[in-house]
Homo-oligomer: A and B are copies of this chain.
């Protein structure tokens, strides 16, 4: 297998070695000690934690320690809108919602509508704004607390952000940005500046609360690089360093490498607005199988759940550990055929999406309750 991989906020390719990434990014593994500490507050552990889908962190211990002293953190996550929301996007948000429920804290949800505009030649700001409001429906559909959730588009909230972005930007040289993101001189000055805007929501809680207030950022590991820069400048600006809790990528349907991404093929991506037939077709046609070539051989030798994408997806979607283990074991033994495994995933996805789509429609009337504007 290809051992080369690349993880940047704009590109994930190859087979990601998450342990290596944890070391390279200088973050901490989400080990039993920190998980136990979290559990002492939340009483139970989300299955994303039990299964190491969230696998590393930075300063989660500090955020929890501060909580002990009565200092609440804010949650902060985001979505750069450049197209429809797919299942991969939902993973950190589902977890963020769980954290909000457990800790009853405020969530800042940044929609950097300028980011993908600045990065992708083909996108206009009208495109990204349109996608922003489409994507917000998916966010609201997950059930965030409207009293504790503030969603904002960078271009609409810039009046409150630009000043603070400048303060961060003054401490970030192009040399640093260049080496951090692998940029070169042909990058446009908007995307060069952008990371300073992504720092700002890490500062806003302190400004809003008028006392030092840390953010805890649940996100996929590719975003940590932005927050590494934020951590470098935060304290000298009078803000606590942001804490992060980082997840793996939902694998692409077509194989266990990289992450599912609209850009790698729309046909093989499960969007939140897909109907049950589309889901069925996509899974049956594209979900990479860990099964054997013939039923006979499969029955005899069993399938390989470690590479089977349908099984991998179920680790993200099937909450029940026992059910999941049964699927794992039966697939490995050959009792469960690839087609049957796919059907389990199809049913799971369609049940999820049916409810999600219902909530997504309801969300259309709730947008105003969530949005922060200048």
Contact = CB atoms under 8 A, between A and B. Distances in A.
Interface of A: 114, 117-118, 125, 154-163, 165-167, 169-175, 177-178, 183, 185-193, 195-196, 374
A75 B158 CA distance: 25
Contacts of A117: 166, 170
B163 A162 contact: no
Contacts of A156: 159
Contact of A195 (B171, B185, B189): B189
Given A158-B163, A189-B192, A189-B195, 15 more contacts: A114-B163, A114-B166, A117-B166, A117-B170, A125-B163, A156-B159, A157-B159, A159-B159, A165-B190, A169-B190, A174-B174, A174-B185, A174-B187, A177-B189, A178-B185
A167 B178 CA distance: 21
A173 B186 CA distance: 5
B174 A190 contact: no
A167 to B, nearest CB: 7
Nearest to A118: B170
Nearest to A190: B169
Nearest to A155: B163
A169 B173 CA distance: 17
A18 to B, nearest CB: 30
Given A114-B163, A125-B163, A125-B167, A174 B158 contact: no
B196 A190 contact: yes
B163 A189 contact: no
A191 B173 CA distance: 10
The 10 A-B pairs of least Cβ separation, nearest first, read A159-B159, A169-B190, A158-B162, A193-B193, A159-B374, A155-B163, A175-B185, A114-B166, A374-B374, A174-B185
Contact of A190 (B155, B160, B193): B193
A185 B178 CA distance: 9
Contacts of A171: 188
Given A125-B163, A374-B159, A169 B189 contact: yes
Contacts of A167: 125
6 contacts: A114-B163, A155-B163, A169-B188, A169-B190, A170-B188, A189-B195
A115 to B, nearest CB: 9
A159 B163 CA distance: 10
A139 to B, nearest CB: 21
A190 B162 CA distance: 10
A374 B373 CA distance: 10
A20 to B, nearest CB: 28
Contacts of A191: 170
A118 B167 CA distance: 8
Given A163-B155, A163-B158, A374-B374, A118 B169 contact: yes
Nearest to A197: B162
B162 A189 contact: no
A190 B166 contact: yes
